[in-house]
Chains A and B, each alone.
Chain A
Amino acid sequence: MAATRRVLRYVPGGRPGRGPWVAAVCSAFFYLYAGVLVARLSAWIDLFRSPAPDGVGGAVAAAAGLVLFYAAAVYPGIVDERASGKVFADRSRRFRAHKPAVVGLVVFLFFLGVSLLAPLIAPYDPSVQTDPAVERYQSPSASHLFGTDKFGRDILSRVIFGARVSLGVGVSAVLLATLLGTLVGAASGYAGGRVDDAAMRVVDGLLAFPRLLLLLTLVAFFANSIWLVVAVLALTGWMGFARLIRAEVLVLKESDFVQAAVAGGVGRGRIVWRHLIPNTLGTVVVAATLRFAMLILLESYLSFLGLGVQPPTPSWGGMVFDGREVLVAAWWVSAFPGLAIVGAVVACNLVGDGLRDALDVRMG
């Protein structure tokens, strides 16, 4: 299939002609990852819940997570890269010229790597409580770089594991929201007329609804689970995408190549799927990256309010909450998870800005 070759040329660093074996190996990995991702979605999600994931399943799922990011962030580059190597090189150069974006990407990849490899790099078990009399509220030191909390747990280890919740919830929610928003937006924009009007009024209505309130209500009503948080975040977050994609589709559907396709006898579904959606991918990726940052923040709010992930599973928002009573005496309890939130959010936003410039996407 065409997709194979697109990936092939990207993986060897955007430089064509590195030899077919590199390409073959890379594409094999891509499909392996993609397959695993589908097959092991549940295992991957389990990662966020249990601090110690089950051996193989966890590792496999971790790899799948990497692919997700790879596929989402790099796909538009791949498409054009196959064209000549020039376009991708050009976009890549434009991205790299945007220094803050490169810093953001490095920080983001660092966070991602940390979250995926948490069991390997965390110095302590994040949820095991030690002797409170000895270990409680220790300030940062060589043995506990970020100090300890009131149960004597290592803050560094908890921040590392907390990255799983924050990034995992963010990724899942943003993927669901993007998917839903893109489909609704594309269908609505292409159908036009009354269908479009109806869909957009629904979007308006949902946008008018106070999101946090809805979240709080739902989480309070139903059994608290990470899935509920993901679902609610996704279901309240797709409208922005829908509007964005609809606007894009409204322009694209008048374009000559769409008219040419219709004149060639291509059906409606295929027009949307093959001709409209692929041409909006740049916008989708940029919007998703920026939205991702927002979702990390939202998840932190929820955890801070005690409605996110339940203890003892560490989450950044929950940890900030834990430290609020001892902010003066033991600032490290809140400060480090707080810094992690800031770091991840800023990094995402920088990457989003860089991608926007590199892919030439106009955002509303």
Chain B
Amino acid sequence: MNSETLLEITNLTCSFRTAEGVARAVDNVSFSVMRGETLGVVGESGCGKTVTALAILRLIPSPPGKIDAGKIVYKGTDLLTLRQREMRKIRGNEISMIFQEPMTSLNPVFTCGYQIDEAVILHQKVGKKEARERTIEMLHLVGNPDPPVCANSYPHQLSGGMRQRVMIAMALSCRPSLLIADEPTTALDVTIQAQILELLQSLRERFGMAVLMITHDLGVVAETAQRVVVMYAGEVVEVGRVDDVFHHPGHPYTIGLQESIARGSQKGRRLKAIPGRVPDPADYPSGCRFRDRCPLAEARCAAEVRLREAAPRHFTRCWKDMTPSKAP
């Protein structure tokens, strides 16, 4: 782990006990987040993106969920060994999270300002006056046209986009080093989506924080991230710089994801979808977990496939060479 690494996840495995058996929602996942970078995590619903994010903050509901193995090292400490009390100091202070649903992520009975104040007071040990100043400042930073009014508004008085801005203000109020954004724009209008992404970008630069951008939308990754982790069925299937992964995808799943994006240039043609479904986490196939849906699958795919470095700093969990990736 070098000094540029902010968060390093090693062999993280999380499972959920279900009626059908133990489901490994996250299986041996490793990746790291550098200081100040935006790392995109993409994949279909149910591939383990959100569980990974929740695991970082140790928020996996237990029971039925459990972190079975692995290390989550943040600034040199393994978060999985911390006590609850210490963990609470990390949450919201060092590592913040924003959620998919801005409409329901704020407590309806308190004003927005009060809720941001609360976060500031909780972590920064400042008085109410100071906290409110910080709140107003944060609301201003997230592009609220009239912070004092917004601070005195209840969540139901604000639009979805404005609520997400309030959530961002709250998440960033303690100047975290890492922001986990779990599908932050999925529930918003397209026009608002772009604004929010831009806002996150500018705040990231301003505060020098790292962002873990979890999304199912490759477009969002292309727009915001420097590096990307592609997840499938609880595993990392491809990691690399955004340019490399987009231009020279190293895994058939990534190619499939790209092809299922609607594009103007393909007008009139039928949109390609990846056939089949994500396998049941309680019963993964042996070898490559994508092979049932993969157009290139061969007998060899039933054997275990490891993540390999197909090109410098570009890893893939497929033994085949796709289009050759140029070294940076």
Please report A residues at the B interface, Cβ cutoff 8 Å: 2, 79-80, 82-84, 87, 193, 255-257, 259-267, 274-275, 278-279, 281
A-B contact pairs, 30 of them (CB 8 A): A2-B110, A2-B111, A80-B109, A82-B154, A84-B157, A87-B156, A193-B63, A256-B104, A257-B105, A259-B105, A260-B99, A261-B107, A263-B59, A263-B91, A263-B96, A263-B97, A264-B91, A264-B97, A264-B122, A264-B170, A264-B171, A265-B91, A265-B122, A265-B123, A266-B118, A274-B107, A278-B107, A278-B109, A279-B107, A279-B108
Query: Do A257 and B107 form a contact, CB below 8 Å, given A83-B157, A84-B157, A265-B122?
Result: yes
Q: A257-B105, A260-B97, A264-B119 are in contact. List 7 more A-B contacts (CB 8 A).
A: A79-B109, A83-B157, A84-B157, A256-B99, A263-B97, A264-B96, A266-B88
- Taking CB as reference atom, which chain A residue is nearest B102? A256
* List of B residues within 8 angstroms of A262 by Cβ: 59, 91
Most buried by A among B90, B110, B123, B153: B110
- Within the complex, the shortest CB–CB distance from B49 to chain A, in Å, comes to 16
Asked if B92 contacts A264 (CB within 8 A), the reply is yes
Cα–Cα distance between A263 and B88 once the two chains are bound (Å): 8
A87–B111 CA distance with the chains assembled, in angstroms: 14
Known: A256-B99, A256-B105. A265 touches B93 (CB 8 A): yes
Which B residues touch A84, using CB under 8 A?
154, 157
In chain B, what residue has the closest Cβ to A278?
A: B109
Complex alpha-carbon distance, A255 and B118, angstroms: 19
Given contacts A83-B153, A259-B99, contact A265 B104 (CB under 8 A): no
C-alpha gap A279/B57 in the complex (Å): 25
Q: What is the minimal beta-carbon distance from B83 to any residue of chain A, in angstroms?
A: 13
Min CB distance B252 to A, Å, is 35
Contact of B109 among A263, A265, A279 (CB under 8 A): A279
Report the minimum CB–CB distance from A269 to chain B (whole Å): 12
Residues in A with CB closer than 8 Å to B91 are: 262-265
Residue of B nearest to A276 (CB): B107
Distance in angstroms between the alpha carbons of A354 and B97 in the assembled complex: 41
CB < 8 Å: which of B97, B154, B171 contacts A83?
Answer: B154
Q: For B101, give its contact among A256, A264, A274 (CB under 8 Å).
A: A256
The 9 closest A-B pairs by CB, nearest first: A264-B92, A265-B91, A83-B154, A265-B92, A256-B104, A263-B97, A256-B105, A265-B88, A260-B105
| Distance from A14 Cβ to chain B, minimum over Cβ atoms (Å) | 15
Minimum CB–CB distance from B111 to chain A (whole Å) comes to: 7
Q: Would A265 and B108 be within 8 Å (CB), given that A83-B157, A84-B154, A260-B167 are in contact?
A: no
A83 partner residues in chain B, CB cutoff 8 A: 111, 153-154, 156-157
Q: Which residues of B contact A266 (CB under 8 A)?
A: 88, 92, 118, 122
| Chain B residues proximal to chain A, CB less than 8 Å | 57, 59, 63, 88-93, 96-97, 99, 101, 104-111, 114, 118-119, 122-123, 153-154, 156-157, 167, 170-171
Main secondary structure of the interface of A (DSSP, over half): helix
A85 to chain B, nearest CB (A): 11
Q: Smallest CB–CB gap between A262 and chain B, Å?
A: 6
Of chain A, the residue at the smallest CB distance from B114 is A2
Q: How far is the CA of A156 from the CA of B52 in the complex (A)?
A: 72
| Contact call A263/B108, Cβ cutoff below 8 A | no
Are the C-beta atoms of B154 and A263 separated by less than 8 Å? no
Question: Considering the chains assembled together, what is the distance between the CA atoms of A262 and B101 in angstroms?
Answer: 15
Identity of the chain B residue whose Cβ is nearest the Cβ of A260 in the assembled complex = B105
B154, A275: Cβ atoms under 8 Å?
no
Q: Which residue of A lies closest to B103 (CB)?
A: A256
B96 CB contacts on chain A under 8 angstroms:
263-264
Chain A residues near B122 (CB-CB < 8 A): 264-266
Using Cβ atoms and an 8 Å threshold, which residues of chain B touch A267?
88
Task: Specify which of A256, A263, A278 is in contact with B57 (CB 8 Å cutoff).
Answer: A263
| Residues on the B chain within 8 Å of A257, using CB | 104-108
* Bound CA span A244–B96, Å: 33
Closest to B173 in A: A264
Shortest Cβ gap from B324 to chain A (Å): 42
Please measure, in the bound complex, the distance between the C-alpha atom of A256 and the C-alpha atom of B107, giving whole angstroms.
9
Considering the complex, give the chain B residue whose CB is closest to the CB of A255.
B104
For B99, the chain A residues whose CB sits under 8 A away are 256, 259-260, 263
Chain B contacts of A281 at CB under 8 A? 109
Instruction: Give min CB distance, B30 to chain A, whole Å.
Output: 23
Check A259/B59 contact, CB under 8 A, given A264-B92, A264-B122, A265-B92.
yes
Closest Cβ of chain A: how far from B299's Cβ, in Å? 45
Contacts of A275 in B (CB 8 A): 107
User: Once the chains are docked, how many angstroms separate the CA of A274 from the CA of B157?
Assistant: 20
Q: Distance (Å) between the CB of A277 and the closest chain B CB?
A: 10
Residue among B63, B91, B123 having the largest count of chain A Cβ atoms under 10 Å: B91
Please name all residues of chain A whose beta carbon is closer than 8 Å to the beta carbon of B170 when the two chains form the complex. 264
Q: Which residue of B lies closest to A2 (CB)?
A: B114
Whole-angstrom distance between the Cβ of A91 and the nearest chain B Cβ:
13
Q: Which of B59, B105, B119, B156 has the most CB of A within 10 A?
A: B105
Most buried by A among B57, B106, B109, B114: B109
CA distance in complex: A275, B122 (Å): 15
**What separation, in Å, do the CA atoms of A87 and B153 have in the docked complex?**
12
> In the complex, what residues of A have CB within 8 A of residue B105's CB?
256-257, 259-260
* Contact in complex: A260, B153 (CB < 8 Å): no
How far does the Cβ of A231 sit from chain B's closest Cβ, in whole Å?
32
Q: Which residues of B sit under 8 angstroms from A261, Cβ to Cβ?
A: 107
Nearest residue in B to A5 (C-beta to C-beta)?
B152
Nearest Cβ distance between residue B167 and chain A, in whole angstroms? 7
Q: How far is the CA of A280 from the CA of B203 in the complex (A)?
A: 36
Question: How far is the CB of B99 from the nearest CB of chain A, in Å?
Answer: 6
Q: Report the nearest B residue to A280, measured CB to CB.
A: B109
Closest CB-CB distance, A186 to chain B, in whole Å? 14
Chain A residues with CB below 8 A from B101, complex form? 256
State the Cβ distance, A16 to closest chain B Cβ, in Å: 11
How far, in angstroms, from A267 to B105 measured CA to CA in the complex? 17
Assembly CA distance A87 to B156 (angstroms): 10
Q: Would B90 and A265 count as touching, CB distance under 8 A? A: yes
Given the complex of chains A and B, what is the CA–CA distance between A257 and B166 in angstroms?
13
Q: Nearest B residue to A252 by beta-carbon distance?
A: B107
Contacts of A256 in B (CB 8 A): 99, 101, 104-105
Give the shortest distance, in Å, between B170 (CB) and chain A (any CB): 7
Tell me the bound Cα distance from A79 to B156 in angstroms: 13
